[in-house]
Amino acid sequence: MVQPIQFAGEDRSNATRETLSTKEPLALRTFTPSQAVFAKSAGIFHFTPEGRKLYDYSSGVLVANLGHNPRRWMQTFCRQMGWKPEHIAGGETEGYFEAVTLTAYNAMTELEATAVDRLLKNLQASKGGGRCEQVMWAASGSEAVQKALWACLHRDESRDIILATRYGFHGKKGLAGAVTGSETDHDRDPRVKFISFPMQECDDLSKMNDEFDPSKYRAELDALQQEYGNRINCLITEPYLGGGGSYHPPAEYLQMLQEWCRENDVILILDEVQANFGRTGKMYAFDAYGVEPDIVCLGKGLGNGVPVSAAVGRSDLMGSLTYGEGSDTWSANPLAGAAVIATLDEFENSDVLENTTRLNEIFVERLMRQKETGIISKVRGEGMVFGIECADFGGHDSKQIAIKVVEKCYLGRDGVGIHLLGALAGNVLRISPPMTMTLEEAYASLDLLESLLVELADSL
């Protein structure tokens, strides 16, 4: 058993860490050096049981794009569910009240129909959403990817080859796990073949205006077409490599993939689970990159904290599945539908996307400046999702530096810290606060980050 992480002066948090470390398997968690314990959250902040305040630089892994517990979002969510204050605060502790059902398996609700209509209307209003005709709901991103791949394979069972960009993250389950990572990770589904992603060309924001030649990537696809011909069914990629280290490619790369897919009757799946609902600066990443996917996978920010995802795409693809082949207990549940409607309301009726543009300018300038500390070597990103790559420094390798940065930011100063997740690809720290952060909060949090990095550098 791994010893639980403990911090001085955090008795309540340490007790929680002790309980969960001994009574839950290690595999349930991802490694984060702080193992932060949250007592409550509001806006862009988490609060520990001891009352310390943490700027949330993760948005719960790109989920809380609108911040934590936003009042107007919550009011819309409760209204859609039919929940009224008297239902909860009426003093009665027994009995029942009438509201939207919490279970709708093998049934339909008007709420589900509203959520479908609203989501499709929003997608189709985007420049690249023209092929978004039907919604297949799920409860997690990996399930949405799985269902998208099922639909593609059912379209023509003689076409069994799946192409996936190397070092992407699409999930851990079934086919979603099979198209994650690379061919060297472990035994793979033999139907999956990996293609290159332009990592070297986009490993720092300083290269964002460099000319890009997609010809070698096109040649790689052509070689696969020569080898497998009409067996190639679909190609799945992320708009940017999230778990692979936050690599954001030139738009020409994704546009080349689309062109090749169209020429060879190959289905293009864009896994936007980490990128949808504003993260790239546009409502959907396909608009940011100028492509029109056959299927787009949505999740995380789609429900702003409520588990919901979806594969949305061409009706002929979705229609290749029959009764039960895309169903499960929680897909299209009313809680998820209410969350989607509330989230769409906020994006359609507020300036969150405009605010993201303003925040982007601040974060690009200030994060690039962090390279002066010597601790950060490269900065990548767009919209409000960035990866800062740690450097070898002070006799420590970059992976050790990443751990020290997370710990230093968690402890912070004067009761205020910054919550970071464990490193991507070993040495890349994701910076992705809620996109509702004010400019004042942005400057204050970045000032804190810079001062903590300088302190850390001076101590090593």
Task: Output the pLDDT for position 149.
Answer: 97
Quote the CA–CA distance of 295 and 272 in Å, as a whole number. 10
Fold observed for domain 110-349: Aspartate Aminotransferase; domain 2 (3.40.640)
Summarised one tens digit per residue, pLDDT across range 31-81 is: 899 999 999 999 999 999 999 999 999 999 999 999 999 999 999 999 999
Summarised one tens digit per residue, pLDDT across range 352-377 is: 999 999 999 999 999 999 999 999 99
Task: Provide the 3-class DSSP secondary structure of residue 194.
Answer: strand
Quote the CA–CA distance of 242 and 439 in Å, as a whole number. 25
Region 385-408: mean pLDDT is: 97
pTM score, two decimals? 0.96
In CATH terms, 11-69+351-459 corresponds, of 3.40.50.720, 3.30.70.120, 3.30.505.50, 3.90.1150.10, to 3.90.1150.10
Per-residue pLDDT band at 396 (split at 50, 70, 90): very high
How far is residue 405 from each of residues 35, 112, 118, 129, 451, measured CA to CA in Å?
14, 43, 42, 40, 12
Summarised one tens digit per residue, pLDDT across range 68-109 is: 999 999 999 999 999 988 777 766 667 788 899 998 888 999
Residue type, 188: R
Quote the CA–CA distance of 68 and 41 in Å, as a whole number. 6
Supply angle C-alpha 75, 77, 83, rounded to 5: 80
Per-residue pLDDT band at 336 (split at 50, 70, 90): very high
Whole-angstrom Cα Rg for the chain:
22
Quote the CA–CA distance of 145 and 270 in Å, as a whole number. 9
Q: Residue 88 corresponds to which tokens in the numbers above?
A: 């909860």
CA dihedral 175, 179, 183, 186 (to 10 degrees): -40
pLDDT score of 201 more than 90:
yes
Task: Output the pLDDT for position 103.
Answer: 87
DSSP code of residue 2: P
Per CATH, 11-69+351-459 and 110-349 having the same topology is answered: no
User: Nearest to residue 68, comparing CAs of 47, 44, 38?
Assistant: 44
Task: Output the pLDDT for position 94.
Answer: 74
In the numeric block, the tokens 């996936």 are attached to 164
How crowded is the C-beta side of 390, counted as CA atoms within 13 Å?
Answer: 27
- To 10 degrees, what angle do helices 439-459 and 352-369 make? 20
For CA atoms 269, 273, 275, 279, give the dihedral sign: positive
Say which residues have a Cβ less than 8 Å from residue 120's Cβ, sequence separation at least 6.
132, 133, 134, 135, 312
Summarised one tens digit per residue, pLDDT across range 283-306 is: 999 999 999 999 999 999 999 999
Task: Provide the 3-class DSSP secondary structure of residue 413.
Answer: strand
Quote the CA–CA distance of 60 and 18 in Å, as a whole number. 22
pLDDT score of 437 more than 80:
yes
The answer to whether the CB of 291 falls within 8 A of the CB of 285 is no
All structural domains of the chain with their residue ranges? 11-69+351-459, 110-349
Region 391-401: mean pLDDT is: 97
How far is residue 170 from each of residues 138, 179, 361, measured CA to CA in Å?
14, 7, 29
* Backbone torsions φ then ψ of 297, nearest 5 degrees: -100, 125
Region 164-181: mean pLDDT is: 94
Q: Which DSSP string corresponds to 171-204?
A: -SSHHHHHTSB-TTSS---TTEEEE----GGGSS
